[in-house]
Structure 1
Amino acid sequence: MASMELTDGYDEECFRTIVLAGSPQELRERRIACQSILLEQLNVIPIEEWMFRVNTMHDLIAETAVLICEAQMKEAGYGPPPCTYSFIVFGSSGRQEATLWSDQDNGLIVEGEPDGEKNRYFEFFGIMLSDLLEEVGYEKCAGKVMCSQGMWRKTLSEWKEQLKEWRTQLEWEPIRYLIISSDMRHVAGSTELSALWQKAFYEGFIDNEELSVAVLRNTVRHKATLNLLGQVLTERFGDYAGGFDIKYGVYIPLVNIVRRLSLLHRIRASSTLERIEELERLHKYQHLDDIQRAFLLAMRMRVNTPFSVQNGLLISSDYIAESELKNKQLLSELRESLLLVRRLHRALQRQLRSAERWRT
């Protein structure tokens, strides 16, 4: 995905307006304008190219938001940044798979050792930047994976200690944080800091069988999506009764399976498609073509879920509507993808049982 080029002049002009925004209000307006163009292109160009364009827009907005935030900090009397720093993203943004309605998942890496001046500046900077991004249209993360939170805003030395702590605890929550961190991607600021962060992250996986098993244990959690007869399980009650949760039913399981294999081989690519490409080069795994096909279907279905518009911005539940599931071809493709996910999930469960028997 990262190697694609934007050949549509319409896109390029739209993206140029983003980087020229001088205030959160202008940035929001230009996001909405670009969003309209991208919606026109949905289902017209290949889904992987469309996702690349969407995430290019998100990156440009984030880079511009960082510059606007620095200017606002100066105006508020905090002065310029006291040292270099890196703005990084996690989650779907880290994987370059964010939709037009994705929320915030981000953090900061600050140069050097912690001190009072740095702590004060970047605490306010992180809060201000997260608020600014919310104003531009990115909802705050319900799990608080944001640069406004101390856990995700640290100096490089503090980050190294945090990663080490998560690696050694091997419990559900710290391993979950470590898995979130594995999708980290640099967006703005010092590329060197981000590279050093990644080096520290992947070094912790070298010859660490216990950590690998702990990641596998977290990965095998899975929402049931097919009944005993192989029929697609839809929501029975609530607002989405009759619909299907495409995000947690098929998209996230595929992301988790590919991420697990990538961590096993210390593949540093962050996007799922790039990870699949790297895994193919190893010539070790079957079904990678099937996984790629299922993943592209999951992305296409996810971005086509019903959405509403509030103040120019999109909101979606990530549920396929019941009416869509009446399309026999779509339902057949979804079922095939879910059968693949179930087979892969069962294979991972067997690996986990074997690993745990070996350890005991």
Structure 2
Amino acid sequence: MEPMKNAEREPDLSMIRFAATREQLRDGRLACQSWIEHAYPEMPIDVWTALVNDMHDEVAARAAAVCEAELERAGYGPPPVPYALVVFGSSGRRESTPWSDQDNGLIVSDEAHGQKDRYFAAFGRRLSDLLEYLGYEKCKGKVMCSEPAWNKTLEEWKRQLASWHRDYSWENVRCLMIASDMRRIAGDPSLTEAWKQFFAVRMNDSPEMTTAFLRNTVRHKATLNILGQVVTERFGDHAGDFDVKYGVYIPLVNSIRYMALQEGVNETSTLKRLERLTLLDGGNLLLENCQRAFLTALTLRASASYTIRDGVYASSGYLPQSELKKKTLLYKLRESLTTVRRMHRALNRRLRFAERGRP
């Protein structure tokens, strides 16, 4: 691969920002995606990941504008009340790979309008379909603005969050963990600020929910055996491969998220959460190791195999066993998994202490 010229150190996002149609927007995303793929070998992983997520943010924001224009031409008129397009998951943390799927939602103003429900139901469906056309696989867990559970007015969102906080079941806690990474992409910022304030108040008022978060956090699949060897998949299409997402990436994300929420850190990015936590607890060797491990996890996610079908990107999330034969990579993976194990031992001690203190 030829090295990039100095004038090409950043992707040209203008094709995305000024796209007037879905076809132009798709062409812009594909052009930017191609640049990003060629840039990967020459950039630090955190810089490259930031550029990937700049692209995703621009595409999503422009997709919302294109949907508004399409609905207006279809006779729906402009948005009847303010709204905010938000993202969750890796998108909320600005950690998406080029082939990440959809994780989004809508927060709609509580202002009264007779066409509000009709408009935003149509908007959510159209936006999700458009994002799929642009190359973003639909979320298998249905965390999308096309789904009523993730497309609500601000007041409805507050009731939903309160309901999740009253029930400490695994699924409700999982939804709250997803929601805690919420980030605005487009629309009215006051709606997202009100949402975040309500979320923070509910978390601070519920020590039982904090313990439930911790209980979910410490549950993860085994990644090292008693001999310190990497545990790979035993059966199926990925036998012999390593599950990057659930083996190393998600355990680190969940652990750092829990610690950040405990310390009142409002960042959604895992790296920024780590930076803030390190400032609060200077000299913490485990946090420093977590930062190195997380950068390795980002690198491995970018190395996972992926496919493109009808323009839609999808990744298995697995590192092929052929990659595990590379000594340098295997050493970094073992080092990262050792950090994951130490972090989870520390959090398990917290959990045992918290559960002993329950009435």
CA distance in 2, matches of 1:101, 1:13: 17
CA distance in 2, matches of 1:138, 1:265: 34
Amino acid at match of 1:325: L
Amino acid at match of 2:252: L
CA distance in 2, matches of 1:214, 1:52: 31
Amino acid at match of 2:322: S
- For residues 269-284 of structure 1, what are the structure 2 equivalents within 5 Å? 269-283=267-281
CA distance in 2, matches of 1:206, 1:164: 13
- For residues 139-154 of structure 1, what are the structure 2 equivalents within 5 Å? 139-154=137-152
Cα deviation, 1:57-77, whole Å, max 9, x if unaligned, reads: 000000110000001111111
CA contact (8 A) 1:107 1:145 kept: yes
Amino acid at match of 1:17: M
1:316, distance to aligned residue in structure 2 (A): 2.1
CA distance in 1, matches of 2:71, 2:308: 32
Q: Could you tell me the TM-score, scaled by structure 2's length?
A: 0.95
* SS of the residue 1:108 aligns to: strand
CA distance in 2, matches of 1:266, 1:8: 41
**Structure 2 residue aligned with 1:133, among 116, 131, 134?**
131
CA distance in 2, matches of 1:9, 1:156: 44
What residue in structure 1 maps to residue 357 of structure 2?
358
Which residues of structure 2 form unaligned runs of 5+?
none
* SS of the residue 2:41 aligns to: coil
Cα distance, 1:8–1:250 mapped onto 2, change above 3 Å: farther
1:207, distance to aligned residue in structure 2 (A): 4.3
**Structure 2 residue aligned with 1:51, among 40, 49, 54?**
49
CA contact (8 A) 2:101 2:314 kept: no
Cα distance, 1:9–1:159 mapped onto 2, change above 3 Å: farther
Cα distance, 1:128–1:309 mapped onto 2, change above 3 Å: closer
What residue in structure 1 maps to residue 161 of structure 2?
163
2:294 is equivalent to residue 295 of structure 1: yes
* SS of the residue 1:148 aligns to: coil
1:208, distance to aligned residue in structure 2 (A): 2.4
- For residues 102-117 of structure 1, what are the structure 2 equivalents within 5 Å? 102-113=100-111, 116-117=114-115
1:286, distance to aligned residue in structure 2 (A): 4.0
What residue in structure 2 maps to residue 63 of structure 1?
61
Q: Could you tell me the TM-score, scaled by structure 1's length?
A: 0.94
Aligned-pair identity in percent equals 52
Cα distance, 1:299–1:12 mapped onto 2, change above 3 Å: closer
2:298 is equivalent to residue 320 of structure 1: no
What residue in structure 2 maps to residue 254 of structure 1?
252
CA distance in 1, matches of 2:220, 2:337: 12
* SS of the residue 2:149 aligns to: helix
Residue correspondences, number? 354
1:315, distance to aligned residue in structure 2 (A): 3.0
* SS of the residue 1:359 aligns to: coil
Amino acid at match of 1:83: V
CA RMSD in angstroms, aligned pairs only: 1.7
Amino acid at match of 1:234: T
CA distance in 1, matches of 2:295, 2:9: 22
1:111, distance to aligned residue in structure 2 (A): 0.9
CA distance in 2, matches of 1:144, 1:310: 20
Cα deviation, 1:239-283, whole Å, max 9, x if unaligned, reads: 111110111100110000000001112211011001001111211
Cα distance, 1:318–1:246 mapped onto 2, change above 3 Å: same
Amino acid at match of 1:341: V
Cα distance, 1:135–1:118 mapped onto 2, change above 3 Å: same
CA distance in 1, matches of 2:131, 2:7: 26
CA distance in 2, matches of 1:298, 1:151: 31
CA distance in 2, matches of 1:246, 1:92: 14
Residues 336-345 or 252-261, more deviating: 336-345
Post-superposition, which runs of at least 4 consecutive aligned residues in structure 1 deviate over 4 A?
Answer: 113-116
CA contact (8 A) 1:11 1:34 kept: no
CA contact (8 A) 1:258 1:276 kept: yes
CA distance in 2, matches of 1:272, 1:9: 31
What residue in structure 1 maps to residue 343 of structure 2?
344
**Structure 2 residue aligned with 1:77, among 67, 70, 75?**
75
1:97, distance to aligned residue in structure 2 (A): 0.4
CA distance in 2, matches of 1:82, 1:8: 46
* SS of the residue 1:122 aligns to: helix
1:196, distance to aligned residue in structure 2 (A): 1.1
CA distance in 2, matches of 1:180, 1:114: 29
What residue in structure 2 maps to residue 3 of structure 1?
none
1:8, distance to aligned residue in structure 2 (A): 7.1
What residue in structure 2 maps to residue 179 of structure 1?
177
What residue in structure 1 maps to residue 95 of structure 2?
97
Residues 47-56 or 228-237, more deviating: 228-237
CA contact (8 A) 1:114 1:155 kept: no
* SS of the residue 1:329 aligns to: helix
Amino acid at match of 1:192: S
* SS of the residue 2:36 aligns to: helix
